[in-house]
Amino acid sequence: MDTPSAYYSLSRDINGDWSSYYPMGAEYQAYLVSVADKNDVRKRTRFGTEAEALWWDEERQQWQIHSGGPDGSRDVSYANVVIPAAGYLNRPRWPDLPGRAAFSGVSIHAARWDPDLDLTGKRVAVIGAGCTAVQIVDACVDQVAHLTVFQRQPHWVAPRRRASDEVPQYQRWLGTRLPYYANWVRLKSYWGTADNNYPVILHDPDWAAKHLSISPANDVLLQLCLGYIDRVFGAGSELARKVTPDFAPYGKRIIRDPGGYYAALAREHVDVEASEPARVNEAGIVTADGRQIDLDVIVYATGYYLDFLSTIDIRGRGGRRLTEEWGEIPRAYRGGMVPGFPNMFISSAPNYSPGHGAGHNFGVEVMVHYVTECLQLMALRKAVTIEVTQDAYERYVADIDATMAGTVWCHTPSAHTYYRSGGGRIVTAFPYRLIDFWRDHRAPVEADFTLR
Ligand SMILES: Cc1cc2nc3c(=O)[nH]c(=O)nc-3n(C[C@H](O)[C@H](O)[C@H](O)COP(=O)(O)OP(=O)(O)OC[C@H]3O[C@@H](n4cnc5c(N)ncnc54)[C@H](O)[C@@H]3O)c2cc1C
């Protein structure tokens, strides 16, 4: 993990006992399971069930939910309000490499990792250079006989700041015994690495015209990362050149070195290919310049489809599909609301993830508060439906886009990033400070809705 563990507690279930500032997945999972159990979520969950379609039923003024169960059974249920919480990054993306199926060794996607896979003494290729690839390379470099890293485009990589990521015992002791200590640590972590960081993403046109970085604040980070490259690879070396991006930091997700990633790339038994593979064959990979690399294992750390609900057939008023409304450009009003889709709040909506720092839980907590306020408004007005007006939706999205235009993501067109949709719009991150986003979601603006 490369996001501080303090981010990962929900504000009402703060864990003051993380073992590490960057713990392993199992520890996060244990935390999430404990929250689910504490709130009795399992009892209310239909496991192994896929929501296939959500259709607005005009007659009943409810949503029809068409689902398929684990035994192949089909079901239609009804709800006054739906909150699609299907995420936007959870279908693993395998690259379209010719011959991929012909490989006789082990092919594995990072999202479907097999904990029993033993890489000891193996010739391994890792395709990708994002956060996942970085963590895999760091973890396996001492075991493998040979490692080839295929890097389509480098990320900026910041050095680890502490000698050890282990949380000192005294902090864990305080976190579990001293009231509000864990709240304080969480707040400090959010401030230090989120809003305090906000100037780093803001574009200063005068500065950017003369520098690779986009502002003096952004340049501080650039120099930190460049210094790290020079220290590990030697200034001007071929490896230094290969791992240096040609866009400003934060243009794509910045990576924190778990400790040994850059050092791994410089090892004798590791090669960095600064391109995608050309194709795969039975024995391994053929590089873009025609070299054969024989392999035992190919690890695909190639990410996920960026996908806002296209896998669920969602139809609002008049049978209009959400995919028609959005086309290639997903967008939403506060609370993940879209006109023509009454009583629907999309939880991981477009522009709900903090891009300059902080965790997904922040956006979700802001959202859940806002949705609860909207439901309360409906109850107060004795309304059966709540729907954002077209005008309010367009104004809200226009404001996001106008603010976004002043951020790094709109000034680093060469950076491949999952923040951008196929239509070119920045769709995952919101462009505001956390505190402003939080304030903006305290209470619904009634004039923006049609309540019936
Ligand atoms: C490699 C990676 C690293 C990340 N790192 C960070 C990070 O460091 N910090 C951070 O804040 N965020 C990070 N993110 C983003 C973060 O994971 C997401 O923003 C977050 O998981 C979204 O939460 P969610 O509950 O909305 O969706 P998800 O966590 O994607 O969960 C959606 C769930 O819905 C299920 N589902 C989907 N379709 C259906 C259907 N039709 N019917 C029933 N169920 C369905 C899925 O199986 C899944 O269980 C990362 C994402 C990835 C892929």
Asked if 126 and 302 touch (Cβ cutoff 8 Å), the reply is: no
Give the Cα separation of 328 and 135 in Å (integer): 32
CA 216 to chain centre: 27
Quote the pLDDT of residue 150.
98
Q: Is 376 helix (H, G, I), strand (E, B) or coil?
A: helix
For the CA of 88, the nearest atom of ligand 1: 30
For the CA of 364, the nearest atom of ligand 1: 26
Asked if 64 and 75 touch (Cβ cutoff 8 Å), the reply is: no
Please tell me the residue having the least CA distance from ligand 1 atom 13: 360
Give the Cα separation of 174 and 176 in Å (integer): 5
- Residues 105-137: pLDDT tens digits? 999 999 999 999 999 999 999 999 999 999 999
**φ/ψ (deg, to 5) at 65:** -115, 115
- Determine whether the shortest distance from the Cβ of 391 to ligand 1 is under 6 A: no
Residue (of 353, 415, 359) closest to 129 by Cα position = 415
Q: How many angstroms does the Cα of residue 93 sit away from the middle of ligand 1? A: 14
Q: Which two tokens stand for residue 292?
A: 């054969």
Q: How many residues does the chain have?
A: 452
Quote the pLDDT of residue 257.
95
Per-residue pLDDT of the chain (452 residues; tens, 9 = 90+): 567 888 888 999 999 999 999 888 899 999 999 999 999 999 999 999 999 999 999 999 999 999 999 999 999 999 999 999 999 998 999 999 999 999 999 999 999 999 999 999 999 999 999 999 999 999 999 999 999 999 999 999 999 988 888 999 999 999 999 999 999 999 998 888 899 999 999 999 999 999 999 999 999 999 999 999 999 999 999 999 999 999 999 999 999 999 999 999 999 999 999 999 999 999 999 999 999 999 999 999 999 999 999 999 999 999 999 999 999 999 999 999 999 999 999 998 999 998 898 888 889 999 999 999 999 999 999 999 999 999 999 999 999 999 999 999 999 999 988 889 888 999 999 999 999 999 999 999 999 999 99
Cβ contacts of 109 within 8 Å, gap of 6 or more: 92, 94, 299, 300, 302
Q: What is the pTM of this model?
A: 0.93
Q: How many angstroms does the Cα of residue 352 sit away from the middle of ligand 1? A: 13
Q: Are strands 449-451 and 91-92 parallel, antiparallel or unpaired?
A: unpaired
Quote the pLDDT of residue 1.
59
Quote the pLDDT of residue 442.
97
CA 88 to chain centre: 8
What's the DSSP call for residue 365? Answer: H
DSSP sequence for 96-142: --TTGGG--SEEEEGGG--TT---TT-EEEEE--SHHHHHHHHHHTT
- Determine whether the shortest distance from the Cβ of 136 to ligand 1 is under 6 A: no
Asked if 301 and 127 touch (Cβ cutoff 8 Å), the reply is: yes
For the CA of 348, the nearest atom of ligand 1: 26
The CA-atom distances, in angstroms, between 305 and each of 65, 87, 171, 311, 343 are 24, 11, 39, 11, 27
- Residues 236-278: pLDDT tens digits? 999 999 999 999 999 999 999 999 999 999 999 999 999 999 9
Site to probe by mutation for ligand 1, drawn from 55, 88, 90 as the one with most ligand atoms within 8 Å of Cβ, is 90
